[in-house]
């Protein structure tokens, strides 16, 4: 999905290039509306966050403390989850999951087996 980023025009060619690179990430509404913030935050933070897009959204929120705080909390949460250590399933469970998935792929499993 390709969206457009509506940023104010700038005479700086480097900034213009950066703006065009951001167009593929997110479309910012022309003005800030709090009711649109939740969707915007989720779209911006989906996948690998782009620092330039994050800064553009911060600028877009402007003086709206509530939306800016919600955005910052989501950023901190995403960073904390990315740093969280994952726990590997024990080998016996891994084998059981693998065998079950194989049976599902082959159509050899029924609802009663679950």
pLDDT in tens, 57-78: 899 898 899 999 999 999 999 8
Same domain, 33 and 6: yes
Give yes or no: residues 31 and 49 share one domain: yes
Structural domain boundaries enclosing 76: 1-83
Residues 77, 111, single domain; the answer is no
| The pLDDT value given to residue 110 | 62
Mean pLDDT score across all residues of the chain: 75
Q: What size, in residues, is the chain? A: 114
Q: Is residue 28 located within the same domain as residue 49? A: yes
Considering the domain architecture, whether residues 63 and 40 belong to the same structural domain is answered as yes
Higher pLDDT, 56 or 28: 56
Contacts 24+ apart (CB under 8 A), 54-59: 56/5, 56/7, 56/22, 56/26, 56/28, 57/26, 57/28
pTM of the entire predicted model: 0.53
**What pLDDT, on the 0 to 100 scale, is given for residue 76?**
92
Based on the domain organization, do 77 and 100 belong to the same domain? no
On whether both 24 and 75 belong to a single domain, the answer is yes
The answer on 5 and 50 residing in a single domain is yes
Query: What's the CA gap between 93 and 109, in Å, rounded?
Result: 18
Same domain, 30 and 70: yes
What pLDDT digit, counting tens, does each position of 27-39 carry?
777 788 888 889 8
Total of domains in the chain? 2
Residues 38 and 61 in one domain: yes
């Amino acid at each position: 999905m390709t969206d457009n980023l509506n940023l104010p025009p700038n005479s700086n060619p480097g900034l213009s290039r950066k703006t065009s690179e951001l167009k593929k990430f997110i479309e910012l509404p022309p003005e800030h509306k709090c009711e649109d913030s939740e969707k915007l935050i989720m779209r911006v933070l989906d996948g690998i966050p782009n620092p330039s897009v994050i800064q553009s959204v911060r600028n877009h929120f402007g003086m709206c403390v509530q939306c800016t705080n919600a955005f910052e909390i989501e950023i901190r949460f995403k960073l904390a989850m990315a740093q969280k250590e994952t726990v590997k399933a024990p080998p016996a469970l891994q084998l059981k999951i693998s065998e079950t998935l194989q049976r599902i792929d082959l159509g050899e499993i029924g609802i009663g087996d679950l």
